[in-house]
């Protein structure tokens, strides 16, 4: 069978454009695939060296037990001392530095001059109350022994960076149950807490609100983020008529603690703002 020259030219004219279109599709697809692979590798490299994913929790959900095991070594139980003039309730506290300074709530120690602090390992020490700010509900304790070498101070986080929805944990001694961990979220920030309905002795501005359960005995304990950093000190809860926790707990921001503690250690007191002095005087007059 013979194929004429004219028919061959016709086939060439028909199939050459089709072949060219097919080749362009293949090349375009290949280029897109190469670009995808390169971009994926760049993102993987950025994630591994931390240049892109700057917000990366130090602890995953599976490592929360390790977080607790670390922080609990810095948390103490606070109970009355035989030398105390008065102490309201047992509470919690945590280690501030290796010099023996501890932090707790002023309402926990009340008017006591000394208390007993009990560590996770069961060892107990006498601690003197060396500084108090009743308005911000902060108290500083100092272990009297000078041979404490195993103190593990907490690491502070920046409460100004706290966002609603972050996971947090409260560690303390609610109702005397030592080394208790409760978890939840940051419910809100910059709350103003008044006396009514809470255990706060004075109005507190700028409080951190959390739904991590805070009960009597948790006062003075740390509120910890997923990095194992203290972002607040558990202070108050809104109590229902039936008692117990309602999922409305409040903590003093770490930035307030960091600002006040050096002054409390040095001077034993912290000068309150004039506005708070006026408010406290008015409260006193009307009670």
Residue 58 domain-assigned (yes or no): no
The domain boundary, picked from 110, 143, 176, lies at 143
Residues 188 and 269 in one domain: yes
Residues 96 and 137 in one domain: yes
Q: How many domains does the chain have?
A: 2
Residue 34 domain-assigned (yes or no): no
Q: What is the pLDDT at residue 56?
A: 45
In the DSSP assignment, the letter for residue 268 is S
What band does 181 get if pLDDT is binned at 50, 70 and 90?
very high
Residues 178 and 124 in one domain: no
DSSP secondary structure string, 106-134? HHHHTT-SEEEEE-TTS-EEEEEEEEEET
The domain boundary, picked from 143, 173, 193, lies at 143
The domain boundary, picked from 114, 143, 172, lies at 143
Q: What is the CATH number of the domain that holds 95?
A: 2.40.10.10
Q: From start to end of 20-151, where are the E strands?
A: 75-80, 91-95, 101-104, 114-118, 124-133, 138-143
**Proportion of the chain in helix, strand, coil states, percent, rounded to 5:** 35, 30, 40
- Catalytic residue positions? 107, 137, 219
Q: What is the pLDDT at residue 118?
A: 92
Per-residue pLDDT tens digits for 76-118: 999 887 654 555 568 999 999 999 999 999 989 988 889 999 9
CA nearest neighbour of 139 among 235, 223, 224: 235
Residue 210 domain-assigned (yes or no): yes
Q: Is 139:115 a contact under the CB 8 Å cutoff?
A: no
Per-residue pLDDT tens digits for 120-145: 888 899 999 999 998 889 999 999 76
Residue 55 domain-assigned (yes or no): no
What band does 216 get if pLDDT is binned at 50, 70 and 90?
confident
Name the pTM for this structure: 0.69
- Which domain, by its residues, includes 202? 159-286
């Amino acid at each position: 069978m013979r194929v004429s020259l004219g028919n061959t030219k016709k086939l060439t004219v028909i199939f050459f454009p089709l072949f060219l279109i097919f080749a362009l599709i293949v090349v375009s697809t290949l280029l897109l695939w190469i670009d995808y692979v390169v971009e994926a590798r760049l993102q993987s490299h950025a994630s591994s060296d931390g240049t892109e994913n700057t917000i990366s929790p130090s602890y995953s959900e599976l490592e929360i037990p390790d977080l607790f095991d670390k922080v609990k070594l810095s948390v103490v139980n606070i109970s009355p001392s035989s030398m105390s003039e008065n102490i309201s309730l047992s509470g919690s506290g945590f280690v501030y530095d290796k010099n023996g300074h501890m932090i707790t709530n002023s309402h926990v120690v009340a008017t006591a001059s000394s208390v007993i602090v009990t560590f996770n390992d069961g060892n107990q020490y006498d601690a003197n109350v060396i500084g108090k700010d009743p308005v911000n509900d902060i108290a500083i304790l100092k272990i009297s022994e000078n041979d404490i070498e195993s103190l593990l101070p907490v690491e502070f986080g920046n409460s100004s960076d706290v966002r609603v929805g972050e996971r947090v944990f409260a560690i303390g001694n609610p109702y005397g149950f030592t080394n208790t961990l409760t978890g939840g979220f940051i419910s809100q920030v910059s709350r103003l807490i008044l006396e009514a309905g809470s255990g706060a002795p004075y109005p507190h501005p700028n409080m951190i609100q959390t739904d991590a359960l805070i009960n009597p005995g948790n006062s003075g304990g740390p509120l910890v983020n997923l990095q194992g950093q203290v972002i607040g000190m558990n202070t108050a809860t809104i109590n229902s008529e039936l008692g117990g926790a309602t999922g409305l707990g409040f903590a003093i921001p770490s930035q307030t603690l960091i600002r006040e503690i050096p002054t409390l250690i040095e001077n034993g007191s912290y000068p309150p703002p004039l506005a708070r002095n006026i408010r406290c005087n008015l409260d006193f007059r009307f009670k």
